[in-house]
Amino acid sequence: MKYALVTGGSRGIGRAICIKLAEMGYYVLINYQSNKVEAEKTLAMLHEKGSNGELLKFDVSDKAEVEAALDAWQSAHAGEYIEVLVNNAGIRKDALMVFMSDDEWHTVMNTHLNGFFYTTRILLKLMMAKKYGRIVNVVSLSGLKGMPGQTNYSAAKAGIIGATKALAQEIAKKNVTVNAVAPGFIRSDMTKDLDENQLKAIVPMNRFGTPEEVAEAVGFLASEKASYITGNVISINGGLYT
């Protein structure tokens, strides 16, 4: 059986990625922090498609929780490993920097950067030992272009982009690839507080994207077909920023 872990898999882009990976034949571990109801909905959607998976609860920003959850899973699956990791869990706490609180800065940094580090590090060892793995990081247009009111979010995503490029070079010889996708305006829970009618006017395609469009790119990067692609960032933004 082939296993994939999607952090923040309970809703939006994460849910679409879980469904895509399930369609590709993966048994999907759906990570969530607190919203078990939505995570169970994602699992039910996998079952409806004839696929399978399970819920894996932990806060990606909490080192002890990450290690406890993943060590327990590995102990229960001796001889097997998670060959695809999608680091998708994220949070926004937007504010102009002059008014930004310490909590708004640190919470975003911890969730994105520390979450990427804690989760990836623990799964990386077996990927390298097995000489096969796919790591896909969901970053953002904000990490490439920078967005006003998002210095915390932009800095965190830009940091993961840098880490993607560095890690890709460290482990390429082990047949483990590391890539990222950078969505622009995607219709999801993360953007439900934005004025879509106003913002779509600045997008050359004149619309927001869908979680499924992001999931298609993630699915490709997670596949064997992308075996010679590593250290790259694919923008999914309707031409908004190139």
Annotated catalytic residue, options 132, 153, 228, 241:
153
Helix axes 12-23, 211-221, angle to 10 degrees: 50
Asked whether 177 and 229 are in contact (CB, 8 A), the reply is: yes
Q: Which amino acid is at 149?
A: G
Residue ranges in the chain assigned as alpha helix (H): 12-23, 36-48, 63-76, 102-109, 115-130, 141-145, 151-171, 196-199, 211-221
Q: In the annotation, is 81 catalytic?
A: no
Longest dimension (CA), the chain: 52
Q: Active-site positions?
A: 153
